[in-house]
Chain A
C-alpha cells in the first residue's frame, strides 16, 4: 500500500514449503534434558519488556528482560555448553516485564529459573558475594535474632564503624540505615492479645453489631510476612482490627519467609524450604474454608504467582487461587467504598500522602487501588507519585555495587514525592518504604493503617 516505488532487488520469494511432501520438522528430537519453558516461543522480540525494565533504563551493561529470558533459552538450545550470563544477577526481580509482554511470555519465571541455575551451577559457593546474598536473602533469620534483643540490634546494626566493616568485607552498603526492629513483634502482640480465640470473639461481636448471622463463614488466615512481624507490627495490628471490624475471624498460622528475597538472589533451595512450610500451613486452612491474606504485596505475589511457577508442592494451586492482598479482599467481599464514603480520619493520619505503587502490586492489578479507594475519604489526600520503580527491589539496593543504580532508578520517585503536596509517604511494600524514607526523609505509612484508623477507629 506504499506510495513509494520499490527499490530494484533480485529477491525472489521461494514457494512455501507446504507441498504434498511436507513433513513437520521435529525441532528438538529426543531432548528432554533441558527445560524449554512454556511460552518462550511466543516471544516475537517486540522489546516492549525492555522499555519497562528499570535496571536497563539506567544501566547500559544490563541486556534487559528479553535477553535474560527467551534469548537465553534459545542460546541454551543451540549451544550445549552455553552458561547462563552473569548479568542475570543484575535483574532486580521487579517483575514489570511480566505485565508488559503482549504475548504472555512468563518472563519473571524464566529469570527466576535462570538465576537459580546460575547460582547453583556457576556461582562460587565460597565467594563473599554468594554469602552476602545468602545473608540478605535470609533476612528472616537475622530478623529473628535481632528481635530477641531489639534495642541492641537497632544500635549495633547502625553503628558506624560496624557498618564500614560490613561494606568493606561483605559488600553491604553503609549508605542505608537498617530498619528498626520493633520492641514487640506482631506475633508476640497477637499471642498476648489471646490469639485466634480472641479474634473469633471480636469478630462475632462485630457481626452482631453489623446485623450479620453469628455463624457467618468469615475467616481469613493472615500471612504477615517477616517485615510486619519484626519491623512494622502496626501494619499487622491494623490488618487484624480492620478485618475484625468487618466480622472476620483471623488466624495467624505458622509461617516462614515468603521467599521473595530468595528468588531475587537465585537461592531457590532456600525458597523452596520456606515455601513448603507456608503452603502446608496455608493449604490446611484453605481446605477448611479460610482465604489467605497478605499485607505485603511481594508476599502475596510470591504465594499467588512465583510458588506455582517455580515449585511443585501439594496444594500449591489451591493456595494461590485463594490468596489475596488485604485491601483487595475487602473490596471484593465488603462494601468498602460505601464504608469509606461515610468515614473520616483525624489525628496524625489526617494528612496528605505521597503514594508509591510497588512493582509487585502492579501485576496483581493493585497499583491504583489505594489512590482510587481513598478519593472519597474525608480528611486525607492520597496522590500517586507516578509509575517509576522505587529502585531498591528488596535486597538489590542493599548491595554495595548496586546502591548507586538503585538510587538512580529511585530518583524519579523522590522527585515526584517532593513535588507532591504531602510530606508523608504511603506504600504497601516494606522495602519500597525504606527507599522512600531513605530518599526523602519522609515517614511512610501502609494503606491498612489509614483504613483501620478510618473504619475500625483504632
Chain B
C-alpha cells in the first residue's frame, strides 16, 4: 500500500531521465503506472463490497503519534479507483494534447506527484499524514494550474487557488489538532468511533468550523467558489483531472470521511446543506452565464461540489446513498466532458462555444461521446446521471431541516443543468457549421479513449444499476459509520422526484432554445458579481501587500543602529512586561559580594563609561578590551580557567580585528547629537537593568537540580576526561560543537566574501567570467 501511494512520487522524480528515452510516447508509458494501480485497488473490491475494511500501518514519526497508516473503506476505495483510473486516461490524453510542447516533462512530473498526493490523501488513516498530503495536492495543483508560466494570468490564478486553499488548510490544521486532542488520537478510524465524545466536547463547534473552513475552501463552496473556474488557466487534461476525480473533491471527501465523527448535529445538518445548496445553485447559474466551454464545465463542477456537500450534510440514509451515486456519476461524466472540451479546443483552436457549431460532421466520434456524457449530466434516463439526480432530489425532499429551501434550489439547479448540457453538446456539434480558427478534424485515439470508456460506464451503470450497487453501498456505509445495503433501480414509480425531473427537463430544454436571452437577462446582474467574494479576495491581497510594504519601511530601514534599538526595545517591552506582571519572587537574596568583586565591577563600569564618552575610536576599542579582560578575570575567580583563557584569546583577537577594520574608516566626522546620545543611553540602561534583574532572578529560582553535579561525577567514567568543559564540547554535546564549527567557518566565508567582493570594489568571479 505504501508502495502504491509513493510510486507516483518515485516515477515523478524519474521523469526527467525517462522522458528523453521514451520520447513522444512517454505519456503512454507513464500511464501504465496508474493503470496498474487501478487494477491493484480493484483487487480490494470484493472485500470492501463485502463490508470489510483494510488497515495497514508503517511507523514514521512514532514519538509524535504520526504514522503512515492506511485505511481502505468504501469511500477511500471509490476515490482511489477514480484517481488512478481517470489518471490513466489523463496521462494518455496529455501525450497527444501536449504533443510537441517542450514543457511536457514538467507536466508529467507535476501530474504524477499530484496523483500520488491525492492517493495519499484519500487513503491516509492519520490526521497529520492526511494534512501533509492535503497540502501537497494544493502545491502540486498550483504548479499544474500555472503550467503556462509565461502567462501572467495563469500565474495570477494559480496563486489565487493556492492562497485560498492553503489559507483554508491552515484552519484545517488547527481543527485537526483540536480534534486530535479531543479524541486523544490522530488515527482517523479510531476518531470515527468516538463521535459521541467529540460531539459533546466544548470544542466541538470551533473545531468543526475550522475543519469546515478547510473543506469549503478546497471544494470551492460559496463564498470561496471563485477560484475554481479561474483554475481553468490550466491545460485541459489537468482541468479534467482536478475536476472529475480529485483536488476539488478532496474537501467533499473530508466532509464525508469525518461524517461519523462530526455529523448528525444541528450545526452540521443546517450549515452544510445550506452552503452546499447555495453553491450548487450559484455554480449552475454561472455555468449558464459562461460561454467558454471550460468555464461552463468548471462552474458545473462547482454545482456538483455543492450538491455533494449538501448531501453529506443532510445525513439521512438516502442522502448517503445519493452521495455515493452522485459522486460516481459526476466523476464519470465530468471527466469525459472535460476531455471532450479539450479535444474541441485542440481541434478548433477556440474555447468559445459561440464560435463553434455543426462540428458533428468533422468530429462524429467526439460528438457521440460528448452527447452520451452530456445526457448523463442533464440527468436523462437511462444514463447513470439520472439515477444520481433522482436520489439527490429524493433525499432533499426528505431532509430533516430546511427541506423546502433545499428542494427549491435543487429544482432550479436541475433546470439550469439541462441548459448546461445543451451548451456543451448541441451548441458546438449541431446546428449550422461555423468557421473556426483551425480546420477541425477527428481527435487522435489517445484523446478519445478516456471519454469513450467513461461514457460507456455511464451508460452501463445506468442500464444495469446493480453493477455499482455494492460499491455505492460501501461508500454510504463509510459515511454512516454502519452497514447500509443498497438496491438501485432506474424506474421507481411515478413520484415527486420524477415529476420534478420531468419539469426540469422540459423547462431546461425550453430555456436552452432561448439561451441568448437568458444570458442577456443574467448580464444585468453582473455588477453584483463584480462586488462579490473575488473582489474581496483582491482587496485583501492589496491590503496585505500594503501592510508588508509599510512594516518594511518602518522596521527594515537599512540602519544597523535602528535594528539594534528596535530589537532591544522589543525585548525590554516583552520580557519586562512579563517580568512585571508574572514574577513575584525575590531578586538574588543571600548573594554575597566580596570586596575584590566590587573592585572588578568598578573597573567594568569605568571602562564602559570611558567607551561612551571618548572621542577616539581606538580608545573605545581599548576600553572594550579592558572590559573583556575583566570578565575573563571573573571567570578565573570562579574557577573556570577554560572560559577565562578563551575569553582572553577572543578578546585579543577582537581588538585586533576591530583595529584592522577601524583603520579603514574615516575619523569621527559626525558626532551624534546630545539628544540622540541621551536616547541611546536610556535604551542601553533599560536593557542593562532588565538583564541584571534576569540574572538576579536566576540565582533565586531553581526549578531543577543543577546538571553540573552529574557532569562532574560522570566525566571520567563515561568520557575518560577530567576537564568537564572539554568533555561537554567534544563528547556529551559533540553534535552541537560540530554545528558551531560550521558556523565559525561560515562566518569566515562571509567576511571573506564581503571584503573581497564589495559592490563598489572588485567584481565577483561570476561577473569576471561574464566580462571575459
Query: Are the chains A and B members of one assembly?
Result: no
Chain A interface (Cβ < 8 Å from any Cβ of B): none
Chain B interface (Cβ < 8 Å from any Cβ of A): none
